[in-house]
Chain A
């Protein structure tokens, strides 16, 4: 039987899937970091450019400082960064020199594991990103095989891609990344051996979301088929639209005779910490999901479906929902089967709506679709259907967008900002509104301590601040009693 390792995604993917990516700030992360470090995770899915932007925008916290402080608190566990090679924080394309600087600074501040992610599976883009990341000094580079269901994304597609990637000296391992949670046990039994047969012994990991409840079983199948690392989340940050619960995965693996070398006591302690944090901050707990057969067909997450129904209702077309879903499938195929992860589901649904409402299909197209067609998101996995491509690009707006200047020269960009600032600060100022970065700088060094137990007390005191007339007060519930008395009482 096999020995499996775990990657914990609570702080990044769990937080993003369930808590809108804003759920955890620096003190909350630092307070659990020493415990997470000792569990025995192979690495942490720790940050992404989205998360770094949110640290600044939402918490006025310095993401570079957060990485450094986490690294100091976690000497035993590598920290991972995930991102596409095209952009950093901003939605605008970045130049290769800019991205090289991003990778260099990430490594210097303490990131040692990098995911190379190209949802279009453009092999040249993969290899170029991996080269740049290696040049920056990364400890481990892992390439993502982003899983989806479509006419072209069959086992052979992934096996061939995996085979080519495994030959690059700049890629150390591979993982099946299933952001939509579409991988069934049955498919896994074909896909995993097909991939492993072509990667010459390179390690293969699995990362599959619990969206329709498939991953808790597919993980066990994967372990039997030679996947050596499973990506999981803890406590409230597991299940729902996030990844499987680590404690459950460990128990299942051991039940079937595999070994997982983690500190069970600390694994439970970390899960408990996130649970107490979730309760203290009124954040939702991920729950196991029901199987939904239709989801395997349209692949649109619940949130997108709800929004779409509402939009149709607003224009009195709710009865056309079925037609819309069929149009979505058609548009996706014509666009070369983009993987249905943000921003593509929204783009495809909007285009399907335009096609439904307009006089002709593709009479109206969004700027995003034009950019997609021009290849600004990367080269699509399959070619865009030629007549559709002609229709999208045959308009003035397409010419305008085509003429948009490419990403600025790095030296030129640098000159737009004060000379003495650090590379880290420059990278933030070049990609974010000045007042957000200024607010971050003004807030000063990060607070390092968070205790979920004191939050209710601090919130209560904060709420009472504007009420000088409040009298003595007692809060009592099982296992907890708080009493506060005014001057001169009792």
Chain B
């Protein structure tokens, strides 16, 4: 429900000749109060709906286009040859620790092997382990704990050990 000025005026036209001096309308999205004074009416509005913040990597320059078609291949970030992306296996919520309150699987600088679990992605109540996939050192953590990881999102980067 959205009320425009015209909507409020339509209500006021009828309120004006009514015996009421206060009208209060409340929905999960907003609250509107109309009050009659000697010289005319006033309104007080409050928007209750929370902001819907789109997920993004914390560093703006790492924001690859969310919809692949928007970015041509040459514009996508080229990973440095010795740093490997660890991407989410499925879209879902990325957790850095096995459970709330527990220490995270890895931190910056942690040495990992290909089979090391570096995080969990929860998709529709199913937990998926995320593996490092390569031996090396955690060079960058791209997504915060309990953030939403979109399809193909980079969760962290591993600086591969030289062979």
Contact = CB atoms under 8 A, between A and B. Distances in A.
Are A and B interaction partners? Answer: yes
A480 interface: yes
Contacts of B27: 479-481
A324 B161 CA distance: 92
A487 B21 contact: yes
B25 A488 contact: no
Contact of A487 (B7, B19, B25): B19
Interface stretch (B8-16, B66-74, B106-114, B117-125): B8-16
Interface in B17-70: 17-28, 36
B27 to A, nearest CB: 6
Interface in B61-99: none
Contacts, number: 66
A317 interface: no
18 contacts: A449-B4, A453-B1, A454-B11, A458-B11, A458-B14, A461-B15, A470-B19, A480-B26, A480-B27, A481-B26, A482-B25, A483-B23, A484-B18, A485-B21, A486-B19, A487-B19, A487-B36, A489-B22
B22 A479 contact: no
Interface in A457-490: 457-458, 461-462, 464-465, 468, 470, 479-490
Interface in A402-460: 449, 451, 453-454, 457-458
A454 B3 contact: yes
A453 B6 contact: no
A451 B18 contact: no
A425 B85 CA distance: 71
Interface in A16-46: none
B17 A465 contact: yes
B11 A485 contact: no
Given A481-B26, A482-B25, A449 B18 contact: no
Given A449-B6, A454-B7, A479-B28, A465 B18 contact: yes
Interface residues of B, number: 23
Nearest to B28: A479
Contact of A485 (B3, B6, B10, B20): B20
Given A457-B11, A458-B11, A481-B25, 5 more contacts: A453-B1, A480-B27, A483-B22, A484-B18, A486-B20
Contacts of B22: 483-485, 489-490
Contacts of B23: 482-484
A484 B20 contact: yes
A454 B10 contact: yes
Contact of A457 (B21, B25, B28): B25
Contacts of A488: 21
Nearest to A276: B1
A462 B6 contact: no
Contacts of A482: 23-26
B9 to A, nearest CB: 9
B3 A464 contact: no
Nearest to B34: A484
A482 B30 CA distance: 12
- Which of B17, B19, B25 is the most central at the interface, judged by chain A CB atoms within 10 Å of its CB? B19
A461 B7 contact: no
Nearest to A486: B19
Contacts of B18: 461, 464-465, 484
Contacts of A468: 19
